[in-house]
Chains A and B, each alone.
Chain A
Amino acid sequence: MALTRLRHPTLQVAAAGLAALLLAAATPADSPVNVPEPEGYWTGPPRGYTPPTLKGATVLDLAGLEALLPEKPVLLDVVLEERRPAGLPADRPWSPTHRSIPDAVWMPGAGGAPLPPEREKAFLSRVEALTGGDRSKPVVTFCRPECWGSWNAGKRLLQAGYRRVYWFPSGVEGWQDAHETAVAKPDPAWAASAGADR
């Protein structure tokens, strides 16, 4: 029994036993499996192994996302913007382009934590607008594989009371392996809330 359990990629914590809970909590996140969900938001480096779950949300693989699309969910892309490198000579052109799932709304950095209150407000009010104020409308957060941004963004939505939050951890890479992407520009309302932040 223990053998088959070990083969399972997700953390199987025995129901009984404080020891078990302790061990699960103590498990550090440097393995592709069994990354525990942090208590609040993830405030560490944005890239790293992410948990297999987001409590309260549904985790989607590509097939799951494809099945959801007919419902026209709000697609939230929180990939970080590329910053102009220091050391790049001033006359050298810099023109990052971002490709995403078609029809997605790109809010770079919306998965950061902690977020300054005015940005958090901007994020939530933007999502409110996109969902028409309907907390039961499906929303999907994604960024890239092994990136915490979309996990945080999903959690943010859950805290705000959204009832159908989906997290697509494979992100843009998972999508573009099977489908075409579309060029995305940062959502203007979200970008405006940055102010001195950027």
Chain B
Amino acid sequence: MSGEPTRRATLFGGLCLCCLPSLARSAEEVDGRFTLEEVAPQTFVRKGLHEDASAQNADAIANIGFIVGRDGVLVTETGGSLADGQWLRAEIAKRTDKPIRHVVLSHVHPDHCFGAAAFLEDKPNFIGHASLREALDARGAFYRERLEEILGKGRAGQVVYPTQAVKDGTEIDLGDRTLRFTAHGVAHTPCDLSMLDTASGLLFPADMLFVERVPSLDGSLNGWLKEIERLKGFGATRAVPGHGPVTVELAPALGDLSRYLTTLRDETRKAIAAGISIDKATETVARSERERWTLFDTYNGRNVTVAYKELEWE
């Protein structure tokens, strides 16, 4: 077993394995286990399963959902697979006849944007960070080809690129509410897009906010800490995290996340200054956080490696 993780880590190199979807789904499970909660008027979120996940599998699923506005529906996250996306689309159809006008691709990780193909027939506006296309090119072809193999060339379609690329910020008006988007600097990934709903005041930071499940670093540690400060300034009190409960109090959640990332940064800096080698650092850095996050043992070491490689250039 020990040979496999090593191989897998090097096989996928920089590709983040943190956010791989659990796809154990039968009709029964989909209908029974996954329910949408209305977290704010006309705002629906399907909670991820990580609290039930075993330590063995990477069963972390993103919180996906949609907002029904006067002029149409906006999908906040599409899910981890075509099945996920299709399930979501069916749930939308159950609740409204309004057309799906916008689909948010919050960042490149498969569990968030991989359900997008389910919405192609709606011909919506796919909105994503300006760097998302490049990130999908670097990592997405893998997925595209495999999708084609499984579904057949006719059914797979393309990996879905954004039709609207956000460089700094933009707004989308659904008639009775406005969604404010921010393209962030390199944080969790190099292509993180957050969204603020002016009607409910809910912030959707996507994977820039992990709750309960250990955060995974696939972009820049310093950048992520910087973007957290920015998120604090948006004036939201509640948020829908990328992983975790469907809504959380924003301040304490960001506090916990900051604490982990700051510990990671400070202890990694210390290790670098003390001349501790990168592999030894993965064993010692951020141990104090171990009991506070699920899947810590699986992903903290990798976070340390990424942090080390970044911080040693300071």
B170 at the A/B interface (Cβ < 8 Å)?
A: no
A47 at the A/B interface (Cβ < 8 Å)?
A: yes
A144 at the A/B interface (Cβ < 8 Å)?
A: yes
B81 at the A/B interface (Cβ < 8 Å)?
A: yes
A28 touches B57 (CB 8 A): no
Question: Which A residue sits closest to B152, measured CB to CB?
Answer: A39
A170 at the A/B interface (Cβ < 8 Å)?
A: yes
Closest-CB distance, A143 to chain B (whole angstroms): 11
Option from A6, A23, A28 in Cβ contact (under 8 Å) with B49: A6
B121 at the A/B interface (Cβ < 8 Å)?
A: no
A17 touches B20 (CB 8 A): no
A6 touches B24 (CB 8 A): yes
Q: Mark B144-183, 1 if CB is under 8 A from A, else 0.
A: 0111111100000000000000000000000000000000
* A2 and B110 in contact, given A30-B143, A38-B149, A47-B11 (Cβ under 8 angstroms): no
* A32 and B143 in contact, given A38-B150, A145-B7, A146-B8 (Cβ under 8 angstroms): no
Closest-CB distance, A66 to chain B (whole angstroms): 14
A8 to B56, CA, bound (A): 10
Closest-CB distance, B88 to chain A (whole angstroms): 13
A177 touches B3 (CB 8 A): yes
* A29 and B7 in contact, given A6-B49, A11-B24, A19-B27 (Cβ under 8 angstroms): no
A145 touches B32 (CB 8 A): no
A28 to B20, CA, bound (A): 11
B24 touches A33 (CB 8 A): yes
Option from B52, B58, B146 in Cβ contact (under 8 Å) with A7: B52
Option from A26, A30, A43, A170 in Cβ contact (under 8 Å) with B86: A26
B25 touches A27 (CB 8 A): yes
Question: Which B residue sits closest to A15, measured CB to CB?
Answer: B26
A44 at the A/B interface (Cβ < 8 Å)?
A: yes
Show 27 residue pairs from A and B whose CB-CB distance is below 8 angstroms, ordered by the A residue. A3-B52, A5-B24, A5-B26, A5-B29, A6-B29, A12-B24, A12-B26, A17-B28, A19-B27, A19-B30, A26-B82, A26-B86, A30-B110, A30-B143, A31-B20, A31-B58, A32-B8, A33-B24, A33-B57, A38-B149, A45-B146, A47-B11, A146-B4, A146-B8, A173-B3, A173-B6, A173-B7
